[in-house]
Structure 1
Amino acid sequence: MSNESAAIEATPLRRPERQNSADVSSSSLLLVKSRDVENSYQNPNHNCNDIGGINCICNNGYHSNTNVTPSTTVAIANLNNNNVEVRLGAGLTWESSNEHTSKIIKMDHNKRVLYRVALDVFILLCVGFPILCFYLWGTAYQRGFFCDDESLKHPFKPSTIRNWMLYFIGLVLPIGLILIVEIVKANNAKPSTDDIITQRQYVFMDYEIPVWMVQCYKSIGVFGFGAAVCQLMTDIAKYSIGRLRPHFFAVCQPIISDGTTCDDAINVGRYIEDFSCRGDDSSKRMLKEVRLSFPSGHSSFTFYTMVYTALYLQSRMNWHGSKLLRHFLQFVFIMIAWYTALSRVSDYKHHWSDVLAGSTIGALTAVIVAKYVSDLFQRRSSQQYLLPRTSQDAQPQTVANNGL
């Protein structure tokens, strides 16, 4: 056997004389201009000594017929001892190409942020627009009544929890608390390996959005989405059922189609459907609301907002200064919702079953949104991936979180 064949058998794997461009598709490319390559670019391993000539003689002994002109941009990569040449175009310099690439990346980041925000706003509008339609043009189901129904003969009283109080309790208080918690957590946060792996940095118009602002956007967005869903479910039930409020007779003052009233003996024990409301001291809004008793909107809204806020504190508030502070705040919020619901019965705005149904809708919606829509109680993987520290740690390693 000859020496040449023995060498071939002893060395089954050899470097190919020609490198296919597809084999280095994942290599990083270094963009340089040809005259810069001629003057200053040097590679101590396998780059050409004379890259400006026609015949390029490299340190590894290979010849390359490379014709480089001053007007041509050359891309050279050296990864795993492979020399790659890609001709891109004329008239580009390293500074101009880098600046152009940076602008494209920034525009792409800006578009992504705008698209995400626009999509979230559009989804909120899709849920909130039917609520507005119900409020402006909705017509409740025309339910009848019995003239001797004592549950509808309660007097009309003003609400203990006014609308502005409801909005303050259900919107201003939770949103303000979310802002405070996220700002405090961001200021006291300590960087860790898990944060480096999981957190993403968002940049918009050359401005790096702070982490607390991103968290507030997510938390408030999910909170608003759940509130809109809860209100829409409540309105659908209200207008579909059309249950009369306890102060129906005081507000409506019904007149039957034959001109009689409930004071006439002929209407005793009679189910009346064809009637009209005289309502001497009642506005059009009051006459419309008198048919929207089931379920209670105040109860569903306050229970959703307060239960969600309590769950948010359970997940995000981890201050160790006091063991009972978080639980005290949760108790206060639940009691606010409880008092609001009870006031709707004592003010004769709703029947007790209306309040029970509204409270159940709000509480269940808060639990579902907090668990399955938000990331408050997101399950963490049982394995944690660590960043490679050396070249030997290129493959991701897993470390179990079981304390072993």
Structure 2
Amino acid sequence: MVPPRPTSGVVDPSGGIVGSFSRFWQRTYASDHIGFVLLLVGYLLLQFFVEPFHRMFSLNDLRIAFPHAEVERVPLLNDFIYALFLPLGVLILANLATHAPPHKHHVTVLGLAISLILASFLTDVIKNAVGRPRPDLLARCVPRPDTPRDVLVTIDVCTQTDHHTLHDGWRSFPSGHSSFAFAGLGYLSLFLAGQMRIFAHGGGGGGGGGASAGDKVEKLVRGDLLRALLCGAPLLGATMIAISRCQDYRHDVYDVCVGGLLGWTVAYWSYRRYWPRLGSWRCEEPYAGPLGAQDVVGRNGYGRVRDEEEGLGQGRNVGIDLGVLSN
């Protein structure tokens, strides 16, 4: 009988610390939470330790000669209320009202958090790199009286003593309020559209009278304007926040449009990481997620794959097109 080979100093990938960590990493949302923390730390570092690139400017440039609004229509705190706390409250209440399982609560809040922090991080990276002057830069700068008006000058001509007021004058592009508003309220709009099945196809009642189930659902969805307007209301709110930045002369239309597009893109990207497309007939249920994040697969509906989806969804909780159902 051949004696077993010594295993001292050899790490078994299926066991030990490495194996336990690998299983933990693959079966939980640890990577998502760690990624969120890294983005948060990066955002805070940008806020406190990074100054923007200071582009040269001219005192004759009327585009940066607007007055500085001491009182903003939507202060930063209000932007947090409208784009973070309000969507968060609606998401939690909606899940509680539908008796959602813990998994759905988790991915709903996690998706919103990642959307907001990623949009904020990307916005600040671009802001500091571009260094575009705000429309109220001259009022912030308070240039010296002897500054020439017909040449390009630098920040050295400014007499403003408030550090934040001065340097924030070169953070015009893109609009942070706009990107944050669309990242939070845009995510809420997507969530509501999925829960109310605004764009869902299939999965309706039984056919009858020569009409298929899919036809009945499509007619119902197209005629339900009130639900569609409700889902679009958060986008209107985000748009009004963006417009307020132009009214306060903090940004121009170009800044808020790009900021809004950035926030909406991040919101959609974050939403789709956890939820099926809005056209899926299971759009109101999130993806199952890692196995370790579930209690017992199939026991309590937490990440459960429906019987009719087995074999078609390859074990994933995803939507199925009408073409598949009709075959």
Amino acid at match of 2:195: R
Tell me how far apart the structure 1 counterparts of residues 87 and 114 of structure 2 sit (CA, whole Å): 14
Counterparts in 2 of 1:160 and 1:274: CA distance versus 1, 3 Å: closer
* Deviation at residue 401 of structure 1 after TM alignment: 5.5
User: Any idea what the Cα deviations from partners look like across 1:191-220, whole Å, max 9, x if unmatched?
Assistant: xxxxxxxxxxxxxxxxxxxx5322111111
* Deviation at residue 318 of structure 1 after TM alignment: 5.2
Contact (CA 8 Å) 1:370, 1:377: kept in 2 or not?
A: no
Contact (CA 8 Å) 1:383, 1:401: kept in 2 or not?
A: no
* Deviation at residue 304 of structure 1 after TM alignment: 1.8
Q: Point out 4+ residue stretches in structure 1 off by more than 4 angstroms.
A: 111-115, 378-383
Point out the structure with the larger strand share: 1
Paired position in structure 2 for 1:291 = 170
> Aligned pair 1:316/2:190, yes or no?
no
Paired position in structure 1 for 2:257 = 356
- 1:335 corresponds, among 232, 236, 239, to 236
Contact (CA 8 Å) 1:140, 1:291: kept in 2 or not?
A: yes
Counterparts in 2 of 1:345 and 1:274: CA distance versus 1, 3 Å: closer
Tell me how far apart the structure 1 counterparts of residues 310 and 237 of structure 2 sit (CA, whole Å): 43
Counterparts in 2 of 1:156 and 1:298: CA distance versus 1, 3 Å: same
User: Any idea what the Cα deviations from partners look like across 1:208-253, whole Å, max 9, x if unmatched?
Assistant: xxx5322111111012112211111111110001111111111111
> Aligned pair 1:222/2:111, yes or no?
yes
Tell me how far apart the structure 2 counterparts of residues 135 and 351 of structure 1 sit (CA, whole Å): 22
Paired position in structure 1 for 2:154 = 273
Counterparts in 2 of 1:357 and 1:113: CA distance versus 1, 3 Å: closer
Provide structure 2 residue ranges, at least 5 long, that are not aligned to the other structure: 1-19, 199-219, 283-304, 312-322
Counterparts in 2 of 1:130 and 1:113: CA distance versus 1, 3 Å: closer
Paired position in structure 2 for 1:164 = 77
Tell me how far apart the structure 2 counterparts of residues 305 and 326 of structure 1 sit (CA, whole Å): 19
Tell me how far apart the structure 2 counterparts of residues 161 and 117 of structure 1 sit (CA, whole Å): 35
Amino acid at match of 1:142: H
- 2:146 corresponds, among 257, 261, 264, to 261
Tell me how far apart the structure 2 counterparts of residues 385 and 335 of structure 1 sit (CA, whole Å): 39
- 2:136 corresponds, among 232, 235, 247, to 247
User: How many percent of aligned residue pairs carry the same amino acid?
Assistant: 22
Tell me how far apart the structure 1 counterparts of residues 251 and 38 of structure 2 sit (CA, whole Å): 29
* Deviation at residue 135 of structure 1 after TM alignment: 0.5
> Aligned pair 1:153/2:65, yes or no?
yes
Paired position in structure 2 for 1:375 = 275
> Aligned pair 1:365/2:266, yes or no?
yes
User: Any idea what the Cα deviations from partners look like across 1:67-108, whole Å, max 9, x if unmatched?
Assistant: xxxxxxxxxxxxxxxxxxxxxxxxxxxxxxxxxxxxxxxxx9
SS of structure 2 residue aligned to 1:238? helix
Counterparts in 2 of 1:363 and 1:261: CA distance versus 1, 3 Å: farther
How many corresponding residue pairs?
Answer: 246
Tell me how far apart the structure 2 counterparts of residues 114 and 218 of structure 1 sit (CA, whole Å): 16
Tell me how far apart the structure 2 counterparts of residues 227 and 144 of structure 1 sit (CA, whole Å): 32
Contact (CA 8 Å) 1:145, 1:272: kept in 2 or not?
A: yes
Contact (CA 8 Å) 2:25, 2:31: kept in 1 or not?
A: no
Taking structure 1 as the reference length, the TM-score comes to 0.55
* Deviation at residue 273 of structure 1 after TM alignment: 2.5
Tell me how far apart the structure 1 counterparts of residues 183 and 129 of structure 2 sit (CA, whole Å): 21
The two structures, once aligned, show a CA RMSD in angstroms of 3.0
* Deviation at residue 268 of structure 1 after TM alignment: 3.0
Tell me how far apart the structure 1 counterparts of residues 30 and 269 of structure 2 sit (CA, whole Å): 24
SS of structure 2 residue aligned to 1:246? coil
Contact (CA 8 Å) 2:79, 2:177: kept in 1 or not?
A: yes
* Deviation at residue 261 of structure 1 after TM alignment: 3.1
* Deviation at residue 348 of structure 1 after TM alignment: 0.6
Tell me how far apart the structure 1 counterparts of residues 183 and 248 of structure 2 sit (CA, whole Å): 21
Paired position in structure 2 for 1:94 = none
* Deviation at residue 403 of structure 1 after TM alignment: 4.6
User: Any idea what the Cα deviations from partners look like across 1:46-78, whole Å, max 9, x if unmatched?
Assistant: xxxxxxxxxxxxxxxxxxxxxxxxxxxxxxxxx
Tell me how far apart the structure 1 counterparts of residues 155 and 167 of structure 2 sit (CA, whole Å): 16
* Deviation at residue 114 of structure 1 after TM alignment: 12
* Deviation at residue 325 of structure 1 after TM alignment: 4.2
Paired position in structure 2 for 1:128 = 40
Taking structure 2 as the reference length, the TM-score comes to 0.67
Contact (CA 8 Å) 1:143, 1:243: kept in 2 or not?
A: yes
Point out the structure with the larger helix share: 2
* Deviation at residue 383 of structure 1 after TM alignment: 6.4
Higher relative contact order (CA 8 A, sep 6+): 2
SS of structure 2 residue aligned to 1:254? coil
Paired position in structure 2 for 1:101 = none
Provide structure 1 residue ranges, at least 5 long, that are not aligned to the other structure: 1-107, 187-210, 387-399
Tell me how far apart the structure 2 counterparts of residues 403 and 121 of structure 1 sit (CA, whole Å): 40
Contact (CA 8 Å) 2:196, 2:227: kept in 1 or not?
A: yes
Report 1:86-235 matches (<5 A).
Answer: 116=28, 118-157=30-69, 158-186=71-99, 211-235=100-124
Tell me how far apart the structure 1 counterparts of residues 139 and 154 of structure 2 sit (CA, whole Å): 18
* Deviation at residue 124 of structure 1 after TM alignment: 0.5
Counterparts in 2 of 1:332 and 1:384: CA distance versus 1, 3 Å: closer
Tell me how far apart the structure 2 counterparts of residues 325 and 212 of structure 1 sit (CA, whole Å): 27
Contact (CA 8 Å) 1:254, 1:278: kept in 2 or not?
A: yes
